Amino acid sequence: MTLPNGFHLIELGAVGSTNDEAKSLAINGANDGTVVRAASQTAGRGRHGRTWVSELGNLYFSLLVRPACPPQQAVQLSFVTAVALAETLSEHLPKTVPVTCKWPNDILVGCKKIAGMLLESAPLGDGALDWLVIGIGLNVGGHPSDVMYPATSVHAAGAPDVAADELLAHFCRRFAHWRTIWIDGGFPPIRDAWLTRAVGLGKEIGVNLASAAITGIFEGLDEQGALIVLRKDGERTKITAGDVFFPTA
């Protein structure tokens, strides 16, 4: 398959992890826009080292970018990625099927997880990043059933004829579009686009932190992408790392 200008595709069979393959290429000088795709992963992982189930027939790839900015700014590319991926899915799924973004890096369809991402990076000596690898797992033809968070796939959500190749090419086009907006306009337009799809915005959410769990109203994102939670005592808490959940009635 052919990707849009600015992207270079490397297709592999079974690998441990596309992120590991992309990081190795980055260390050896691979260009911005390198995309490493694998048919399957034997050691796919998500955040906090969690296993990412990598069934055949789904889309597993890692995108190498060289953003030349501080790490706290480069993390905004996770929101660029989420918006691009959500738009891609919206274009291929029935219009009645909601596609939403769950902080910090999941995409939901009908309240079920369809995609996730993992960002890994290496710094330069001047405080900027040498490279950033964005790993994405997207359930296309199948999805796991024995997972903590309910899952679905593109085919199960109402688009049985959509191929992984088509989704990858479409994502790259949307990523290039939103990355240009981010470069030219900073984080505000990305934040606004992400918030229009944010699940739980304005409602009570829970957040599992490393040492505690808190609840409060999901008010939005700060200028760096941190989650803003208004707690019952009136305190606004900014969260940069945690797992969001939705309390049941």
The predicted structure's pLDDT at residue 124: 81
Nearest CA to 86 out of 167, 201, 5, 205 is that of 167
Architecture, CATH, for domain 204-245: Roll (2.30)
Q: pLDDT-based confidence at 132, cuts 50/70/90? A: very high
Identify the CATH number of the domain defined by range 8-195. Answer: 3.30.930.10
The confidence band for 249, taking pLDDT boundaries of 50, 70 and 90, is: very low
* Annotated domain spans of the chain: 8-195, 204-245
Tell me if domain 8-195 and domain 204-245 are identical in fold. no
Task: Give per-residue pLDDT as tens, 34-45.
Answer: 999 999 988 766
Classify burial at 213, counting beta carbons within 10 Å of its beta carbon; exposed 0-12, middle 13-18, buried 19 or more: exposed
pLDDT tens per residue, range 4-63: 999 999 999 999 999 999 999 999 999 999 999 999 988 766 554 556 566 778 999 999
Cα–Cα distance for residue pair 199/100, rounded to 1 Å? 6
